[in-house]
Amino acid sequence: MGNLDLVTIIVIAANAIISYKGFKDYGFFERYKFNVGGIRRGEQIRIFSSGFLHVDMAHLFFNMFTLYFFAPVVIYHLGTLYFLIIYVASLILGNLLSLYFHKEEFHYSAVGASGAVTGVLYAAILLEPSMQLGILFIPLPIPAYVFGILYLLYSIYGMKKQIGNIGHDAHFGGAIGGYVATLILMPSLFKTDLLMVGLLAIPIIVLFVMHKMGKL
């Protein structure tokens, strides 16, 4: 997809600088992380700012490495402005879904760009569903749309079982943000890739049905 776009470099740099500040300054980290109690007291900035903080270098590297691969796909098809809209929408929706599921857990906290990055990943899959992804420990590449569906189904499972110290709901909310924003910004996908639009909607429908039935 060509050289890394300037806007991607700026986003990665912002994550690195703000995360590094958080590594060194505990007060800064605590003030801007996602925290249900803080948000419900009126500190809405946390919904946005927490997306630029990370717990450690490995967490930061994994998110930015993923963004490095998939941002160029979105920028190639939609341009830098729409890429930024998808990134921010996914970040915010990911954290809003976390807030919705944990609204009574005042001590619940989280950080990371995972929601935003998952939204960009899902947007890239929607724009290029036939691209092949090489996954660690899997010998053969798999189609991007298969990965996207399996990833979100795993996220639902993770939300239900509360697997690990991972914000599965933020990942899922980010993916929904990327999915919805991409379709709004490029509605022609309903004509050119209606089957794929429908397939990628399956995990989202499953999530809301399970929630309605009280299974989450």
pLDDT at 105 (0 to 100):
92
pLDDT at 135 (0 to 100):
63
pLDDT at 2 (0 to 100):
46
| pLDDT above 80 (res 159) | no
pLDDT at 190 (0 to 100):
93
Rounded to an integer, what is the distance from CA 141 to the centroid of its chain?
22
Decide which of 6 and 136 is more confident: 6
pLDDT at 213 (0 to 100):
77
Rounded to an integer, what is the distance from CA 185 to the centroid of its chain?
18
Side-chain half-sphere of 121: how many Cα atoms within 13 Å?
27
Q: How far is residue 174's CA from residue 172's CA, in Å, rounded to a whole number? A: 5
Q: How far is residue 77's CA from residue 138's CA, in Å, rounded to a whole number? A: 28
Q: How far is residue 17's CA from residue 209's CA, in Å, rounded to a whole number? A: 40
Q: Which two tokens stand for residue 162?
A: 């509360």
Q: pLDDT tens across 146-157, in order?
A: 888 887 787 777
Is 0.85 surpassed by the pTM of this model?
A: yes
Q: How far is residue 76's CA from residue 83's CA, in Å, rounded to a whole number? A: 9
Q: How far is residue 157's CA from residue 163's CA, in Å, rounded to a whole number? A: 8
pLDDT at 31 (0 to 100):
96
Q: Which two tokens stand for residue 140?
A: 């053969």
pLDDT-derived band at 39, boundaries 50, 70, 90: very high
φ and ψ at residue 143, rounded to 5 degrees: -60, 145
pLDDT at 155 (0 to 100):
74
pLDDT at 202 (0 to 100):
87
Decide which of 21 and 62 is more confident: 21
Rounded to an integer, what is the distance from CA 193 to the centroid of its chain?
22
What burial class does residue 43 get, using C-beta atoms within 10 Å of its C-beta: 0-12 exposed, 13-18 middle, 19+ buried? middle
All domains of the chain in start order, with CATH? 6-212 (1.20.1540.10)
Among 56-70, 89-103, 142-156, the minimum mean pLDDT is found in 142-156
Mean pLDDT of the chain: 88
Rounded to an integer, the average pLDDT of 2-29 is 92
Q: Which two tokens stand for residue 112?
A: 């990371």
pLDDT-derived band at 138, boundaries 50, 70, 90: low
Bridge partners of residue 133, in order along the sequence = 142
Q: Which two tokens stand for residue 8?
A: 């991607």
| Helix axes of 114-127 and 168-185: crossing angle, nearest 10 degrees | 40
Bridge partners of residue 109, in order along the sequence = 35
Rounded to an integer, the average pLDDT of 60-74 is 91
